[in-house]
Structure 1
Amino acid sequence: MTASTTTHASEAARRYARALFELAQDKGQLAEVHKDLKAFVEMEKGSNDLTILLDSPVFSRGEKVAALAEVMAKSGLGTMLANFVGVMATNGRASDIRQAQVAFDELYAKQRGIQRAVVRTAKHMTGAERGRIESILAKAVGGEVELTSEVDPSLIGGIQLRIGSKLVDASIAAKLERMNTAMKGA
C-alpha cells in the first residue's frame, strides 16, 4: 500500500500542511512545493539514516535542525520546503513531516479538482487495464482522476475500487463471502 492511501495525518500535521499550502499559494509556488515535499518524503523512504533522524528521540531538536538543514542544502530542494522542514524540526515535529506531506497532497488535489481513487486487484494490472479504469472513472466523476493501484492476492480475482469513502467491491473473495452468508441464512 502506498503511504498516501494508508497514512492519516494528525491534526498537528494538518495545521502545518495548511500553513505551508497557504504560503505556497500566496507566493505562487504551490506546484513547486508540492513536488519538493513529495520528493523529500520519497528521499526519506529510501534512507534509513534520514528516517532514524526524523523519528528517533535520541537526537535533540537542535541536532535534528542542524542535520536537516544540511540535508536540505545538499538536496537541491526549494528554500520554502527547507524552511518548512526546519520549522517542523525546531518545534519538535520532525516525525510529522510525512503526515504533513499526506495532508498537503490532499489539499493540493482538492484545489486542483482531482479525485483520488485506489484500485485493488489480485494481480498487477496492465497499462491498458489501468487506462480503461481511469477513463471510466474520469467520466463517472466528471473530472480528473488520480489512480493508485495495489495488489492483494487474497481478492482471488476481480477488483475493489475506493473513491473517497465509497467502496465498490467486485472481488471474487467478496462474492464468495456473500454466497457463504446467504447459504448460512437459508
Structure 2
Amino acid sequence: MAELSTVARPYARAAFEFARDHQALESWSDWLGKLGAVVAVRDVQKLLASPSLTTERKVELIVELAEVELDEASRRFLDTLGESGRLATLSAIAEHFEQLRAEHEKRIEVVVVSAYELDDKQQNKLAGALKKRLNREISITTQVDPKLIGGAILRAGDTVIDGSVRGRLNRLSEALTA
C-alpha cells in the first residue's frame, strides 16, 4: 500500500496543480473520486491486471463504470495513467488529490470518537476551538465508542489527540509497569 501511495503522489500533485491553475478543482475532485471508487472494486482490479485487454479498453471500461464525462485534459491525464500502467493507482491518486485540495482550501476533516453522542452545541463549540487552533475550516465527523469510558479521541490529518479516560488509564498503567 505504501508503494501505491508513493507512485500515486506525483500524479496527484500534477492533477491538483493543473486543476487549481484552471479553476477546476471541484470537477477534477468529482471525477477522480468516482474513478477511484470504481478502481477500488476487486473485480475491476482484476480487469486492469488482465493482459488480454488493451489500455484503451481498460480506460473505456472504468470511465463507463464510473459514469463520468471527461473533458480533453481529464482524458489525457487518464490516458497517461493507462500508458504508464498506473490505472490501478487511481484510488490513491484521488485520495492524495483530496488532501492537497483540503490543504489548499484550508479545511480539515476531524473525526471525533467519544464515549457519548455529542449534541450540536458541543460539536459547534469543538469546531470553533479547533478552527481557532488549527486556522482551518473544520468539518467534524462523530463516532461513539462506549469503551472510551469518558472524554474523546480527535483525529485531524496525521494528528491524534487522545483525551479519553481509557487512554489516560492506559498511560497510567504503562507508567506504573515501566
Match of 1:105 among 89, 98, 103: 98
Match of 2:128 among 123, 135, 140: 135
Partner of 1:15: 10
- CA apart distance, 1:100: 0.3
- Tell me how far apart the structure 2 counterparts of residues 183 and 64 of structure 1 sit (CA, whole Å): 58
Contact persistence 2:39–2:62 (CA under 8 A): no
Match of 2:172 among 154, 171, 179: 179
- Tell me how far apart the structure 1 counterparts of residues 75 and 125 of structure 2 sit (CA, whole Å): 39
Contact persistence 1:120–1:150 (CA under 8 A): yes
- Tell me how far apart the structure 1 counterparts of residues 122 and 174 of structure 2 sit (CA, whole Å): 31
TM-score by length of 2: 0.76
Query: Structure 2: where are the runs of 5+ without partners?
Result: none
Partner of 2:59: 65
Q: Look up the equivalent residue of 1:52 and give its one-letter code.
A: D
Query: Structure 1: where are the runs of 5+ without partners?
Result: 1-6
User: What secondary structure sits across from 2:96 in the alignment?
Assistant: helix
User: 1:166 and 2:156 equivalent?
Assistant: no
- Tell me how far apart the structure 2 counterparts of residues 125 and 78 of structure 1 sit (CA, whole Å): 41
Contact persistence 1:54–1:94 (CA under 8 A): no
Q: Look up the equivalent residue of 1:35 and give its one-letter code.
A: D
- Tell me how far apart the structure 1 counterparts of residues 30 and 70 of structure 2 sit (CA, whole Å): 10
1:28-48, CA deviations, whole angstroms, 9 ceiling, x for partnerless residues? 212221233234435666xx4
- CA apart distance, 1:58: 3.1
Contact persistence 2:109–2:157 (CA under 8 A): yes
Residue identity (%): 25
Q: CA RMSD in A?
A: 3.1
- Tell me how far apart the structure 1 counterparts of residues 80 and 12 of structure 2 sit (CA, whole Å): 12
1:121-161, CA deviations, whole angstroms, 9 ceiling, x for partnerless residues? 34554444333321221122233123344454543432111
Match of 2:43 among 45, 52, 59: 52
- Tell me how far apart the structure 2 counterparts of residues 125 and 44 of structure 1 sit (CA, whole Å): 35
- CA apart distance, 1:8: 9.2
